Each structure stands twice: as structure tokens, then as C-alpha cells.
Amino acid sequence: MDLLLLLLIAAVFILPSFFMMRTQRRRQAELQSMQAALNAGDRVVTVAGIHGTIVGARDTELDIEIAPGTVVVMDRIAVLRPQGGAASAAGYDSTYDASSQTPGLQRPENTQHPAEPEPRDFPEHPENRPTDGGHPENR
């Protein structure tokens, strides 16, 4: 009876681990085959979340254009998925066109700040505490 109980407990802990390893190996093999099949012209998303188009491919590296005229070199293993793969299934729009966006960071017209900060109406705020030191309950 003790041996049967021991085998049952072992099966409860070992079988799920075994099935998870098999699933993980299958996903890893799919990812490696996708990365090996990448060619120039493919739109991809990297593990850093960078979207771009492959403009050149070598054995272990890819040249990825992330904006018009901006090409970065990345390892093949840095590519997470083709653009539009999981994003389309999740309902995200993958039709972003970098050429239609205004380059540069948009800044507000008025960047002047007031000389004095506005008075705070929060008595519990640290800036509004008495400057004689100590906690108010200890005075």
C-alpha cells in the first residue's frame, strides 16, 4: 500500500513536468525553424519589441530596417515572431507606416515653468509639515 501511494505521489509531480518539457521543446523547435527561414523583405518583431523589415540576412545576423534609412544589425535569435503573427490574433493593428509619422519628438510650445510652486492644500504632505522637526504627536 505504501509503495502504491509513493508511486501515485511521484506520478502527480513528475508527469506534469514531463508534459511541460515536451511542449516547451516543441515551441523552441518551431521558433528556431521560423528564425532559420527569415529572408529579406520579411516584417518582424524582435524580443525588444522593435518592429522592422529585414533588408539583409546572414547565417547568424539580420539587417533590420526600423525606420526609413535606419538599419540595425541583430542576431537571428532576437526575432520573436513575424509581424502580424500573434499581434493579429490578439486584435492589434500591424499596419504601422513609419514614413507617415512626424519625425522627432513633439514638444509643447510653452515650456516655461512658474518660479514658485503652487501652494499645497494637503496638510499631510511632507512639504507642509512644521520645520521645527520631529513628529507632530511627539511635541
Structural domain of 56: 1-82
* Residue 43: count of CB within 10 angstroms of its CB: 16
Give CA–CA dist 53/120, Å, rounded: 51
pTM: 0.50
SS3 46: strand
Say how many domains are in the chain: 1
The answer to whether residue 97 is domain-embedded is: no
pLDDT of residue 18: 86
Mean model confidence pLDDT for the chain? 76
* Of the candidates 78, 48, 44, the residue with the CA atom closest to the CA atom of residue 61: 78
pLDDT exceeds cutoff 80 at 94? no
Assign residue 1 the CATH number of its domain.
2.30.30
pLDDT band for position 132 (cuts 50, 70, 90): low
pLDDT exceeds cutoff 50 at 81? yes
